[in-house]
Amino acid sequence: MPITFIQQKKKQKYLILIFAAVLVVTAIFIWQSFFKQKTPTATITPPPPPREIRINFSLFDEKLFKELQPFAEIQPLPSAGQTGRENPFLP
């Protein structure tokens, strides 16, 4: 029995050291990424000039486009007097 207790204590010491090392590495990472101020860059680059927009209207000259037919206009249903009620939520 005493041997296993000693082995468990050794394991605990190693685990505590590993845990402490992980905490230190995490703290360094957080310090470097969040709390350390970044130096501003001195050079400011101007934005690129806007590109010219060209619309290709040659689509309207194609044969398939000219053969397209519009849909027939949908007529509303004939109303039979009054449509709906003043308050539709009343029984």
Mean pLDDT for all residues in the chain? 83
Cα separation of the two ends of the chain? 84
Residue 38 has pLDDT above 70, yes or no: no
Residue 6 has pLDDT above 80, yes or no: no
In sequence order, what are the residues at sequence separation of 6 or more whose Cβ sits closer than 8 angstroms to the Cβ of residue 65? 59
Residue 29 has pLDDT above 70, yes or no: yes
Higher pLDDT, 15 or 5: 15
Residue 25 has pLDDT above 90, yes or no: yes
Region 62-72: what's the mean pLDDT? Answer: 91
Residue 3 has pLDDT above 90, yes or no: no
- Reported confidence tier of residue 86, pLDDT bands at 50, 70, 90: confident
Q: What's the CA gap between 24 and 18, in Å, rounded?
A: 10
CB-based contact 16:8 (threshold 8 Å) = no
